[in-house]
Structure 1
Amino acid sequence: MKKRRRIVLSVVVTSLATALATVPVTVFGTAAATAATPSPTVTGPVAGGTPSEVMFSTTFDLATIAYQEKEFFLSGTASSYTSASPLTSDGKWTVTPNGTAPYTTRAVVRRPANPKKFNGSVIVEWLNVSGGVDAAPDWTMSHTELVREGYVWVGVSAQWIGVNTAKGNSPAIPGNAARYAPLSHPGDSYSYDIYSQVGQALRTNSAQLLGGLKPRKLISIGESQSAARLITYIDAVHPLAQVYDGYLVHSRAATGSALSQVAPPAATPIVPAPAATLIRDDLNVPVFVFQAETDVAFSNLAGRQPDTKRFRSWEVAGTAHFDDYGLEIGRTDIGDGQGAIRGLASMQNPPTNTSAGACDLPVNTGGAHWVLDAAIHWLNQWVTNRVEPPRAQPLQTTGVSPVVFAKDANGNTLGGVRSPHVDAPIAALGGVGNTPALCVLFGTTVPFTAEKIASLYKNHGGFVAQWGRATAAGVVRGFLRPADGVELVNAAARSQIGG
């Protein structure tokens, strides 16, 4: 049995390596960012305590993966923005500054302990505040790729609620009043310029913020609520600020966020975004939209746009807005292959209890993070080497309002970006249908019975072979990273599935 597993694994790994030479590339031109934005005053590294203690993120010691973490405070004067006319659905907005206010926010920097490992690109995540506290979903989901390739990651407290909670002002979430006493946020109308200024500081004050590392490219990223902020940022502020070299909008809704709103704690829009907001098509930098099934369904297809030379959209079959990896497995995954092994086991026995509460149904275990790794890789290639990402078909639907996905014989959605999770399935994976509360975002998993698996694969070797072929196909098409492919196939070979 072990010899057979080694043979199957060897064949698949060889095919993964060969696949690297067959991935198509397309030349793309992009404009460099300018220096039109003020650079704030930087204080730090902040001493005392753990930098990310008031942030939902990974929980292991970064030293175990040869990374360092430092926290900084950034102070300046930020502008809010307004528009003389209502914002339009095409995203081609003309906005102007509309008042200023002082601020002090924070940025958490994670970088390679060995400066020689730095690849030149900085991922700047707009921290998500949907849970009432700063969270780093994109770091949690993609950190193994970021560490493997030597990125610097920076998490920015761009919004009022993240700063307010960090200061200890939330009755439900512990903060650190002493550590974060200097922080002050004037409200989310100023969040866009704060985000610009932090990015600018990474360019102009890299000696302090990045320990002397010189960033060549800044890549903006944000998930869910942060994706909505980025839509408005891209359409309204990027043409003015020109700070970021590319954007990854992860799990967007149909609309963007308000351009301006009343002072906190209220959040009533003053200049709202249209109900359906597209990414403007006249940008000088690339935008990559990454969508799970949940996102496509909840946006009712309103966020779909055709691919262009500066726009790419991937809709990933069998995935949820947030899943078991982001909620649980990813928080302790140090990139040693155990994440893939645990993920495969989780598909066979999916949880209902999560770090965000108990769900009525087992949550999605479809592994969107594997494809997200590839999206980050391609966006970096796009902005750094002018190489376009591959294009993908959208998910297939049979109905709208509500969206109904076309399913295969195994209960998985057709179309979109494929993965071994849906093309060598051991479960039916969905992005909608769970309850209550936040669980609507976590999707579902229905594991196959032993009889169903036996009918699909005959034996363990048959499963590993099919899983390997599906994985290799994902690598060839550019939707999976080769190193991730090896982990996925190794996890299948070590499992007992089909045996």
Structure 2
Amino acid sequence: MERSIILGGMLLSLALTANAWAEVPRMPTAIAIPPSGQLPLSSARRPGTEYSDLDRYGYTEEEFYLQGVAPAITAAGQTLLEAPYTTRILVRKPMDPARFNGTVVIEPFSWFGERGAGWILTRDYLLRRGYAFVGYTLNLNQPAVDPKFIADTPAAEADGITQYGRIVNFEFMRRFDFARYAPLGTYYDPQRFTRGNAPDPFVPQSQGIGAQLALLLKTPATQGPLAGFAVQRVYVNSWAVTAQVWMDYLDQGRHQQWRMPDDTPLIDAYMTGRMAYGEVGGDVIRLPRRMPEGVPFVTVYSQSELMHDVLEGIPLPPDTDSPQVRYYEVTGMPHLRLADLGTQHTERFAADVGKGDDPRCQTLYDEPVELVVSALLERMDQWVREGTPMPRASRVVRDGKAAARAPSTGNLLGGVRPPWVQVPSATYLTDQETGCGLIYDTKVPYAKDVLGRRYGNFNRYAQKFEEAKAQSVKEGYLLPDDAAGLRPIATPQDF
């Protein structure tokens, strides 16, 4: 008995020592934003790329100021000070709390047009399955030299400002709706906060704001953004430039440092994508150095991002179940689609950059990759709730610092292969290969004679496409209810 007491005491002591540096973040305050006469930025009720019929799914949308005091952290992980902030959160939740499935997905809006890329890629799935969604703003007042536009040459910097300067920072938000967004502000000092040899483009308080938001959502309350909702899990779904914020969070050990009062995690799963981590500051990584145990870390790379890694010869981490790592290279997925643009966000087409006559630059691909991402989110959720590991996918086949392509189709070998790549009607390319000079990636549709030789006729092509859908469902990269609505990419008129 005495030996058991001593052993139990030793184990308790070790546990306390292991968690001695863990801490509960400061609790922020959420205040409902008074009506201003128009819908908020990034609203799902406004016609555009983020629109969803919330009423059809029985959802409501509300906007709050999020206020608190958060640490300002350098890219190297040093906390220099704590400062107040005021930002905003946009909350979508079922009108009936009984429909809530217990999980909140949080996503920082992109600094280009306040885009919610994760929302765009998963919204139908989230609404069908009863998730709550909370998007939040990570922005700053426009500095004299905006670090988002620092480039190798003055001409390139000026071009970036011309292209995107009107849709970034709090100034953009205030021009959009001054009454609503005038109070917003976060700390920034380009002299003290650098990444590589330049000012850090990421808000120094980003990590603390994310942690505090998760704490607020998981803490039962009688009023606030999710009052009356029993939140059991919070998932991160962060894409494009803001994905770097959550890579920093994990890499610097914040998952282990910032906890709930009962020492459980603030975040229960991390999905990030479409971001070449570390390239801004020269510290190229693909896996956090301080990987958390017991929660999934999932990376989803488009064909554009995976091609970057191929050309740069960047080694990829293996998929493992401990720690829980999955890394997906999705072929036939572009870096940006027309469906992914933020508010007042436009991008150049081939004709705008003098490439209008190049056949490789004329056709964007806008295939429904949201179906793949939604299936991956479903499988990540099953990993958290049921302990069922996510599927493992092969990597795209490398041939040195080049990606191997099938001679018969022109498409990449390996990786996650949606139905439109299994049964292709085009060759899917990236800007790194074509030199089109676009943020969009492009494809070259097969000519009629090529389609005819490959499939014979449209009906045979459509049948093969149905078989490919069934294969994707079997592999876990397409949900059965999404497969029903997925139509072949080519049409009878293409044959």
Same fold (TM over 0.5): yes
Structure-to-structure mapping, 1:33-182, within 5 angstroms: 36-53=24-41, 57-81=49-73, 95=77, 97-129=79-111, 131=112, 133-160=113-140, 169-170=171-172, 174-182=175-183
CA distance 1:128–1:156, shift in 2 (3 Å): same
- Over the residues paired in the alignment, what is the CA RMSD in angstroms? 3.1
CA-CA distance at 1:182 after TM superposition: 2.0
Equivalent-residue separation in structure 1 for 2:241 and 2:303 (angstroms) = 16
TM score, norm. by length of structure 1: 0.75
Deviation track 1:19-71 (CA, whole Å, cap 9, x = no partner) reads xxxxxxxxxxxx9xx97222201101542344533678513553244321110
Deviation at 1:366, TM superposition (A): 3.7
Match for residue 297 of structure 1?
A: 307
In the TM superposition, residue 388 of structure 1 has moved relative to its aligned partner by 1.0
Query: Partner of 2:15 in structure 1?
Result: none
Contact 1:254 1:302 in 2 (8 A): no
Q: 1:181 to 1:365 in 2, by over 3 A?
A: closer
How far has the Cα of 1:480 moved from its partner?
A: 0.9
Structure 1 residues 96 and 53, CA gap change in structure 2 (3 angstroms): closer
Note closer, same or farther for the CA distance 1:450–1:113 as it changes in structure 2 (3 Å cut): farther
Normalization by structure 2: what TM-score?
0.75
**Partner Cα distance (1:274, 1:229) in 2:** 14
Say whether the 8 Å CA contact 2:32–2:64 is kept in structure 1. Answer: yes
Question: Residue in 2 aligned with 1:210?
Answer: 226
Please tell me whether Structure 1 or Structure 2 has the larger radius of gyration of its CA atoms.
Answer: 2
State the AA in 1 paired with 2:206: S
CA distance in 2, matches of 1:35, 1:364: 46
Cα deviation 1:463-485 (Å, max 9, x = unaligned):
12100111100000111111111
Q: CA deviation at 1:321?
A: 1.5
1:281 Cα deviation (Å)? 5.7
Aligned residues: 410
Q: Whole-Å Cα distance in 2 between the matches of residues 327 and 388 of structure 1? A: 33
2:481 to 461, 483, 494: 483
Q: Which amino acid aligns with 1:157?
A: T
Contact 1:167–1:176 at 8 Å: present in 2 too? no
Consecutive unaligned residues in structure 1, runs of 5 or more? 1-30, 88-94, 258-271, 332-353
CA shift, 1:98, in A, is 2.7
- After superposition, where does 1:275-354 map in structure 2 within 5 Å? 275-276=284-285, 278-280=287-289, 282-284=291-293, 285-299=295-309, 300-302=312-314, 304-309=316-321, 310-327=324-341
What's the % identity of the aligned pairs?
A: 25
Q: Does 1:255 align with 2:278?
A: yes
Q: 2:153 maps to which residue?
A: none
Distance 1:479 1:408, change over 3 A: farther
CA distance in structure 1 between the aligned counterparts of 2:118 and 2:304, rounded to whole angstroms: 17
Matched, 1:201 2:216: yes
Quick one: distance in 2 between partners of 1:321 and 1:50? 31
The equivalent of 1:238 in structure 2 is: 255
Q: Which deviations, in whole Å up to 9, do the C-alpha atoms of 1:345-372 show, x marking residues without a partner?
A: xxxxxxxxx9423234222234322211
- Which sections of structure 2, spanning at least 5 residues, go unmatched? 1-18, 144-165, 189-202, 260-265, 356-360
Cα contact 2:57–2:128 (8 A) shared by 1: no
Q: 3-state DSSP class of the match of 2:298? A: strand
Q: CA deviation at 1:211?
A: 4.4
Structure with the bigger RCO (C-alpha within 8 Å, sep 6+) is 1
Quick one: distance in 1 between partners of 2:407 and 2:95?
46
